[in-house]
Amino acid sequence: MSLVAKQVGALIQGASVLEAISATFERNRIYGIIGPNGVGKSTLLHILSGSDAPSSGTVTLDGIPLSDMPGKTLARRLAVLQQGGLPPVGFTVREVVAMGRFPHQNWLGGEQEDPESIIDGALHAMGLVDLQSRKLHQLSGGERQRVALAKLMTQQPEILLLDEPTTYLDIGYQIELLDTVKAWQKRKGLLVIAVLHDLNLASLYCDKLIALHKGRITAEGTPEEVLQPVVIERLYGAKTTLIKHPATGVPQLILQPGSE
């Protein structure tokens, strides 16, 4: 299973945001999309999800253009965690998590198998069992983000797209959420593509990174290949020192203060 972008371009209000983006994403991998604000990271993710059409180029899933796939068929294979998570609507946590089963339901809202065990498993995985009867507006932003991920779990996708998934989360929940995604990805052989701002988290959890700059791919490869001080300075205009994580050996970046 592979998701392929070929010469993808995007325009927003007539201005070019992405140009000639070509990349292949394969199952059993976590890909991180990095780069400064305004370079088109979220736009690329929306195009890869099929929710937005590119102005040029194509995106295919196993050779089939996303534009040719019925929405419900695509939703059984691909799930998206949008930036900012869920709005504080008046449903309970369990009701929202259960909504992830919609792509698998017939027109009467039924399924061939009882989905309750799937819903229970997602609530347990995200630490939401004790909150399942609460209304969404009673939760913090971080708790709503965990609900959003649990909803995607019940969708049982092959491909998971995450747009800044650690937004609103403190460092403990950031690690917990990404640990959960990593374990889920390994257990099910998922393809995960995540837009991430924290480069050290991207290095810890991603197998490959794609760095965007001025609407184009400026670097791609393993974290060791991409997270080089010269690349980071070109992307962000910031000077960094590179060290190895003492437990995992992956690269970690330490910011250098500017001259006074």
Architecture of domain 2-226: 3-Layer(aba) Sandwich (3.40)
Q: 0.75 cut: is pTM over it?
A: yes
pLDDT, one tens digit per residue, over 171-191 is: 988 898 899 899 999 999 999
Give Cα 23 distance to the centre of its chain. Answer: 16
Beta bridge partners of 33: 195, 210
pLDDT above 70: residue 38:
yes
Give residue 145's pLDDT: 84
* Residue 162 backbone dihedrals phi, psi, to 5 degrees: -125, 120
Beta bridge partners of 195: 33, 163
Quote the percentage of the chain above a pLDDT of 70: 97
Give residue 87's pLDDT: 73
Give residue 231's pLDDT: 94
Give residue 169's pLDDT: 82
pLDDT above 70: residue 49:
yes
CA distance 175 to 157: 22
pLDDT, one tens digit per residue, over 117-172 is: 999 999 998 889 999 999 998 988 788 888 999 999 999 999 999 999 987 788 98
Give residue 201's pLDDT: 96
- Do strands 208-213 and 29-34 pair parallel, antiparallel, or not at all (unpaired)? parallel
Name the band, by pLDDT with cuts 50, 70 and 90, for residue 61: very high
pLDDT above 70: residue 235:
yes
Please check whether residue 96 is in contact with residue 136, taking contact to mean a CB–CB distance below 8 angstroms: yes
- Give the 3-state secondary structure of residue 150: helix
CA distance 260 to 158: 50
Residue whose token pair is 């970046």: 253
Please check whether residue 132 is in contact with residue 94, taking contact to mean a CB–CB distance below 8 angstroms: yes
pLDDT, one tens digit per residue, over 62-95 is: 999 999 999 989 999 999 998 766 776 789 999 9
pLDDT above 70: residue 13:
yes
pLDDT above 60: residue 259:
no
Beta bridge partners of 25: 3
- Do strands 64-65 and 56-61 pair parallel, antiparallel, or not at all (unpaired)? antiparallel
135-172 in b/e form (b: 16+ CB < 10 A) is ebeebeebbbbbbbbbbbbbbbbbbbbbbbbbebbeee
How would you classify residue 189: left for phi > 0, otherwise alpha for psi between -120 and 50, otherwise beta? left
Give residue 46's pLDDT: 95
Give residue 207's pLDDT: 97
Residue ranges covered by each domain of the chain: 2-226
- Helix/strand/coil percent split, the chain, to 5: 40, 30, 35
Give residue 144's pLDDT: 87
Please check whether residue 146 is in contact with residue 96, taking contact to mean a CB–CB distance below 8 angstroms: no
The better pLDDT of the pair 14, 251 is held by 251
pLDDT, one tens digit per residue, over 199-208 is: 999 999 999 9
Give residue 166's pLDDT: 87
